[in-house]
Structure 1
Amino acid sequence: ESDRSGSQQLYTTLVNHLEDVVFSLDQDACISFINPSISRLGYQPESMLGQPLARFLVPEDRPLLRSPRGKKEWRILDSHGKIHWFRVNMNFQTLSGVAVDVSLHKATEEQLLAAQKMEAIGRLAGGIAHDFNNLLTVILSYTELALEQVPQGIPVRQDLGEVLDAGNRAKELTQQLLAFSRRQMMTLEILELNPLVASVERMLTRLIGEDIEIHIHPDPGSVRVRADRSQLEQVLLNLAVNARDAMPSGGRLTLSSSSLNIDRERAEELDVQPGTFALLTVSDTGSGMSEEVQARIFEPFFTTKKQGEGTGLGLAMVYGIVRQSQGAIELTSTPGQGTRFRIYLPATSQPTPAEIPPSPPTPARGGNETLLVVEDEPALLNLARRTLKACGYQVLCAKDGREAIMLCQQEGQNIHLVLSDVMMPGLNGPDLISQLRPLCPQARFLLMSGYPDDSLAGRGVHEYLAKPFDAPTLREAVRGLLDLPTKP
């Protein structure tokens, strides 16, 4: 009898010290025993005795109590109503079981699935934007060519101006899609965050109503990052406008900058490299967001605004710009209490360059050099030929890489510049250039691209021409590259 009592005491001690939740139920599915591990959810074990177990489950999971099929995952509410995931192994004959807290595993799994979904949507958005950029290049360029031939005062000139304005608005939408897919062209420079935040504050005074207080808290030190100035300004403006819309009756908007060190564990959570980071924080006292909205807030075309009041691309663009800048963005929000976005960007110790005043633009002159244009889109190929031929250039055209190689085998010694698309069937732009270089010893190379491509690095490509472009931009890019001094 004493041995049995000792074994029972040992068993009780072991059960009471387990991290997992051990429980038993009576015939009415009420709790007859539960170990102290449940106190992590804010409950006292004694207070749960006699209570229906279903009371502590989310309503959708309560039918699982009547389904004897081995292991299950239950969502259990803690004393504050927060959901915790448990993997439950229950014996329905003895009405006893063990529940293992897998909340951290589920959170990691959901983060991975969300990241994979965002990556897939990003690839789709980037592909759509690339195709639209080809169409917009044709629309914008032919409209510019038509405007150059229509005298002032002719009514059709105003119509062409409307077409050009609409094309430029469409161009902005494709740039937002490319920003989300992390394929937008970026002009990187060393930036001081405090002056950047100050310049955004001046813009905000024109965007934010007088019923919203704007508070700026700059870092007392000097925080520098390597980023695209205009895109980073756009990130802050988009977040500020989003905050404004969440405070229709007024409130407080706060922008702050600081720096911090991120260790390896925290870096893995944020999906960044460990090191020193600049932290930009945008917070408001607005309506906040539910967990369901937070889970989708960075998806393109997802919006909580009324139809016609938003495209659903603003926060998607913010997400893409931050990730393309090797950074991370975090969101915390509580309904009725407000929202806070934290943007982490890798800090740099490089000095900021002295500002150089921009030189006034001058119309690009033409020339008589021989150019080769390689483009698989017929409308774009014809556009480039027409635009450049009108400037006096001798223009050869090829619809793909194979045809370009054949032309260069015959005329390569006389070609001064090759203008090629990046994405083409058969042979892409960078690979084509590698084969044309020996055939065209004096040629410069210019690639047309709807988005930057890491595969171009290290291939001796002088310049990108970002799509969509108009006729003046094409002329300037070609002339500028031809006028570069020859390397010794």
Structure 2
Amino acid sequence: MSTTQGPADSRTSPEMEDLEDLFDTAPCGYVSAGADGRIIRANRTLAGWLGHDVAVFSGKRLQDFLNIAGKIYFETHFAPLLRMQGFFHEVALDLVRADGSTLPVLVNAEERRDAAGQLRFVRVTVFNATDRRRYERELLQARTALEELNRTLEARVVEAVEARLATEDALRQAQKMEAVGQLTGGIAHDFKNMLAVISAALNLTERRLRTGGDVAPFILAARDGVERATALIQRLLAFSRRQALVPVPVDPNRMIAEMVDFLRRTLGNGVQLRTELAPGTGQLLADSSMLENALLNLAINARDAMPGGGELVIATANRLLGVEEAAGQRVAPGPCVTIAVTDTGIGMTPEIAAKAFEPFFTTKGVGQGTGLGLSQVFAFARQSGGHVAIRSAPGEGTTITLCLPQLPAEAAGPAHDASGAEILIVDDDPQSLSLKVEMLSGLGYAVHLARSAVEVQDRLASGPGIALVLTCADMRGHGGRTLAQDLARCRPDLKLLVTSPAAGAGCPDHLPWPAPLDQLAARLQALLDPAR
């Protein structure tokens, strides 16, 4: 074996040869250095790592195999440490190979002294740290990436939630527009009939007035045509727009009766619609547009479940919800009103019925449904303090029942008279303004007028007793909604009512317009005297 100490003694024992072989072929580098730091002996493992012959190490120092920065670092840090404490462990250094490349290593050094305390030599152990350095770099990169991931996690979660909500909102809107699309076939015909009734009634009224005859029947016919047209417009806008939803007392029997023609047009000739409206059914406190939308969704689902035609029954009833059942549905016990929609269609298996109210679940083909109709019905029932149940079996049809809390009789009674209050009407349409003045004056209110938003502040200053502002949402320039928001900020004590075919979000309160006189009176009373 060739070492820096010269040829081996021919009388070397086998045990010594084994030890020398172990020293030279160990999986780590070994170096013995004298008290002056000069290398006495190095093993073949270290020599092979650095691409040198073992003889190259003789008389040199370990620092000679470091680059300039490594030499300085070793002399200023680890050489003094070795002198002071006699050892150092796992010092990370880079040794320079014969070809100029570097080898990352971990170095341990420890002094060996004799019994008198004199330094005999320094044993240096060198470990190849190539894999460890690579692992440390990868770990550092992974840690940096993880820190960046954690730093941006909240923002990405918010972004993902917003994207999901936007997608769901778009799908809900698509479902609404799908419902509107199924109505368009008969809308033109319906409007033509309504306008024909109004036009004929006005012509006959004009002729009868010349002869002094009774015009009351023609006025009633014209009013009926206007009310039917207004109801149709409001339903279409409610289904197609994103509008603020406001719960109001609703008579379900009256609502369903008014929707019959609308539903028949939607269902088509293959479905026979029948209603069973129980007399004396109480009122509900619900958003009327949402309730109509829920009934329309249920009717469309029933129609689709009867591809060959069939019968659809809408029935109402009063019911007392017991404590046990209410607890099971997580609603309040007490009197409620049920609206059941029953079809004679294909029915559902128990597995499908259990998933029917889940968002995006649908048994329809791709492009034929969003899977949001029944989930919207379920959400509406929950938001209204009620619940919805389904009963179905294959081949036996389906019944879906809305169970909504009944409005107490005292809350559903006629409005208390609050006439005499001062109201400011803001409208830039002269005819609409004149009509509103007549309606409010007839109800006994003291009326102030403003033909634009610019005039409002002057009218409020000259009329300190004004308690409510009635404004139109669709005024030119400074619109009624913007005016309502401005007044809400500067005059929070002032009551506001915005009229529009379908008021949008951001209105403190709104009234679909045109509105019957009794509905206008009720809304004004509710705002001006909410305690009654």
Do both proteins adopt the same fold according to a TM-score greater than 0.5, normalized to the shorter chain? no
TM-score with structure 1 setting the length? 0.40
TM-score, length of structure 2 as denominator length? 0.37
Greater relative contact order (Cα < 8 A, sep 6+) = 1
Name which one, 1 or 2, has greater alpha-carbon Rg. Answer: 2
